[in-house]
Amino acid sequence: MRRLFHAVLALSMALTATPPVLARAAEGPYEDGLLRLSEVLGSLHFLRNLCGEKGDAWRAEMEKLLATENPDPARRARFVARFNRGYRSFENSYTTCTASAVEAIGRYMKEGEQLSRETAVRYGN
């Protein structure tokens, strides 16, 4: 979990360092990755709490992403919709923590870390 937090933090710092005009121009190339990251964070928010983690750590990570991007209302709605889609996709499937849920957590942790790192490396300064 710590590595993903650090990867999201590095992504936030890298994207924050980009001047606002360039950030809007670069929105297109990394938009799909950030939308997917939003979905991953939503999935982790549900799954980690299902499996015993208490709190809103993953929602807080989503808030950091939104604060960093400072999207217009329509773009913000897309990010929030993807977070909610990730949450609901597992909410409809799992009522208790199972081995499958734990495995999904591992996969999503890796994917989130990879998305954060790739975006920071490719588009950060």
Q: What is the pLDDT of residue 96?
A: 96
pLDDT tens-digit profile, the chain (125 residues): 556 655 564 555 455 444 444 444 445 788 999 999 999 999 999 999 999 999 999 999 999 999 999 999 999 999 999 999 999 999 988 999 999 999 999 999 999 999 999 988 888 76
Q: What pTM, to 2 d.p., does this model score? A: 0.78
Quick check: helix, strand or coil at residue 105?
A: helix
Q: How far is CA 112 from CA 21, 35, 49, 61, 96, in A?
A: 26, 11, 17, 11, 23
pLDDT of residue 116: 92
Q: What integer pLDDT is reported at residue 23 of this predicted model?
A: 46
Single-letter amino acid code for the residue at 107 = R
DSSP 3-state assignment of 41?
A: helix
83: which 2 tokens? Answer: 């977070």
Helix 27-50, helix 2-16: angle, nearest 10: 150
